[in-house]
Amino acid sequence: MEGLELKDKRIIVTGGSGFLGRQVIEQLCEAGATREKITVPRSRDCDLRVWENCQRAVDQQDIIIHLAAHVGGIGLNREKPAELYYDNLMMGTQLIHAAYEAGVEKFVCVGTICAYPKFTPVPFKEEDLWNGYPEETNAPYGVAKKALLVQMQAYRQQYDFNGIYLLPVNLYGPEDNFDPRSSHVIPALIRKVHEAQAKGEKQIPVWGDGSPTREFLYSEDAARGIVMGTQFYNDSEPVNLGTGYEISIRDLINLICELMEYEGELVWQTDKPNGQPRRCLDTERAKKAFGFTAQVDFREGLKNTIAWYRQHAV
């Protein structure tokens, strides 16, 4: 498959120091990119909510891969919906415009599964993206990220700007965020089980009733999909990145408990929100458009993630 030659391209990876970003950089290098020409703007000295910083970041660059996001689990989405909307919209929309003005060759925008409507038929097909409003707890975040798809399509239509939009499902893997105030479900559950074991606790509280289903994509697979899209996809339509494997939260935590050898009781906090009822992607478009399929078995991916956390837990 003829694709974009990455050798000697000047590439920016926003969010490149995060757990997905580090994997994307590794995959870029494996695909032929020159490590010395990959730049990672850091939020402490390059706040992308500030227009001038976006201009500076994209200057003289060939490819922008926009991973940076202000993101978290249900708790953070309930606590800071305004921040999540503003930060994600401003970072993305300014960066896209700055990249267009600077004559950047290609812009890769990584969206979110939270952009899908609350009651999307399973498996989620890309054409269902606009058939309803996202699940309420993460709608501000989801809508802000979905607005970037509209921008990419509009800039392609008016300016012939080559921007693509990828939609990875929930990610997990080593080096994930395990902070209980902002982490997603897998790292949050791994930490809960680990701490219960350390303290000898016989019960673990878990939000919701365990009925919602989720699909999870190992970070290394997600990074490979993003790099393949960067090289081989040049169309306006959004593309799902996932595995097509759906698991309930109840089955997920039972599997984590099994892998971590925890034999205590799970206490379901049914007064807490469940989030979106079901999430599972149709992954055919990625397969047909640029040959991407996930490779890491879910059980193996979980084992790797647990092993990493146990090694690094304080």
Residue 129 lies in a domain: yes
Distances (CA, A) of 40 to 7, 56, 62, 256, 264: 17, 13, 14, 33, 43
What is the pLDDT at residue 127? 97
Distances (CA, A) of 302 to 255, 271, 305: 9, 28, 5
By the 8 A CB rule, do 231 and 31 touch?
A: yes
What is the pLDDT at residue 235? 97
What is the pLDDT at residue 143? 96
For 138-190, what is each residue's pLDDT tens digit?
A: 899 999 999 999 999 999 999 999 999 999 999 999 999 898 877 788 999 99
- Give the confidence band of 314 by pLDDT, cuts at 50, 70, 90: low
- Give the confidence band of 313 by pLDDT, cuts at 50, 70, 90: confident
Kindly report the length of the chain. Answer: 314
**CATH for 41:** 3.40.50.720
DSSP structure class, residue 180: T
Residue 4 lies in a domain: no
Residue 127 lies in a domain: yes
**% residues pLDDT > 90 (the chain):** 82
What is the pLDDT at residue 1? 66
Active site residues: 141
Residue 161 lies in a domain: yes
Residue 260 lies in a domain: no
Residue 2 lies in a domain: no
Residue 208 lies in a domain: no
Say how many domains are in the chain.
1
What is the pLDDT at residue 185? 87
By the 8 A CB rule, do 99 and 107 touch?
A: yes
Residue 106 lies in a domain: yes
Q: pTM for the complete prediction?
A: 0.93
- Give the confidence band of 276 by pLDDT, cuts at 50, 70, 90: confident
Which domain covers residue 33, as residue numbers? 11-172+215-245+280-296
